Amino acid sequence: MYKFLEVSDIEQSQLNAVLKKSSSGEPLEMHKQCPICAYEPYSLHIYFHSRGSNRIGGVWVWCNHCFHYLHGTIKPPQWWINLDSVKPEYLESAPYYLEALVNEIDTHWLIINSCRFNVLSLKEDTVLIPMPIKKVSTQLSLVN
């Protein structure tokens, strides 16, 4: 079995740079290239989870190739919507539980970006148009 590894100060700053970009509101596809191991195909993943009305929660940034990870308390971006299949009681600092859901998490990012931005293409020349998003029950949808 693999073991997730905590990061050094240098590695932490590399993962924090990716985290900062993901929190900025810019469209960001998941999964990304890991700044630590630079493995391709891309292997870096991010998941936010907000808890309660004050939206304080956690964030996980991890690579499923070199197994370095970063976890901390954060106020997730206002546009973030938790993935319904993630059960908060199973979350812990190392992202073992999240790794088991990695395909759902990456798809969730795609859905959020598709709802926030009218994605016209998923190639390098992607054209994005900001769109308001709403949560209807447990489903994301575009506001018409």
71 DSSP assignment: E
Q: How many CB atoms lie within 10 A of CB 16?
A: 15
What's the Cα-to-Cα distance from 96 to each of 4, 25, 93, 102, 103, rounded to whole Å? 8, 26, 9, 10, 13
Q: How many domains does the chain have?
A: 1
In this predicted model, what pLDDT tens digit does every residue of 19-42 receive, in sequence order? 888 777 676 667 788 999 998 778
- What global pTM score does this model have? 0.77
**Is 86 a member of any domain?**
yes
User: 23-27, 43-47, 120-124: which has the minimum mean pLDDT?
Assistant: 120-124
> Residue 122: is its pLDDT beyond 80?
no
Asked if residue 114 has pLDDT above 60, the reply is yes
- Evaluate whether residue 39 is within a structural domain: yes
Q: What are phi and psi of 33, to 5 degrees?
A: -80, 130
Is residue 116 a part of any domain in this protein?
no
Residue 144 CA to residue 125 CA, distance in Å, equals: 25
Confidence of residue 121 (pLDDT cuts 50, 70, 90): very low
Rounded CA-CA distance 72/11 in Å is 15
Is there a domain that residue 65 lies in?
yes
Q: How far apart are CA 102 and CA 71, in angstroms?
A: 16
Residue 51: inside a domain: yes
- Kindly state whether residue 113 falls inside one of the protein's structural domains: no
Query: Of the candidates 137, 85, 87, 83, which has an alpha carbon nearest to the alpha carbon of residue 112?
Result: 83
Percent of the chain with pLDDT over 90: 42
Q: Look at residue 37 and tell me if it is in a domain.
A: yes
Q: Give the residue numbers spanning the domain of 18.
A: 5-102
Specify the 3-state DSSP secondary structure of 12. Answer: helix
Q: Is residue 88 part of a domain?
A: yes
